[in-house]
Amino acid sequence: MKKIFLIAGTEDGRELAGFLLSMGYDVTASVVSSYGRQLLERYEGLKINDRRLDAEELSAYIDEHGIEAVVDASHPYAENVSSNVMKVCREKKLPCIRYERGEHELNYDKIYHANNYDAAADLAAKLGRIIFLTTGSRSLKVFVERLKDCEVIARVLPTAAVLTECERLGMTPKNIVAMLGPFSRELNAAMFRQFRAEVIVTKDGGSIGGVDEKVEAASMLGLPVVMIDRPKLHYDNETNSFDGVIKFISQPPAEGDRL
Query: Residue 258's closest CA among 72, 86, 62?
Result: 62
Quick: pLDDT tens for 107-149. 899 999 999 999 999 999 999 999 999 998 889 999 999 999 9
Which pLDDT belongs to residue 103? Answer: 67
Contact criterion met (CB below 8 Å) for 12 and 73: yes
Which pLDDT belongs to residue 137? Answer: 87
Which pLDDT belongs to residue 181? Answer: 84
Which residues of the chain register pLDDT less than 70?
Answer: 1, 103-104, 208, 252-259
Helix (H) or strand (E) holding 57: helix 55-65
Cα(68)–Cα(32) distance, integer angstroms? 22
Exposure of 237 by Cβ count < 10 A (0-12 exposed, 13-18 middle, 19+ buried)? middle
Residues found in the chain: 259
Which pLDDT belongs to residue 104? Answer: 64
Cα(138)–Cα(235) distance, integer angstroms? 24
Q: What is the pTM of this model?
A: 0.79
Which pLDDT belongs to residue 254? Answer: 56
Which pLDDT belongs to residue 1? Answer: 62
Which pLDDT belongs to residue 192? Answer: 98
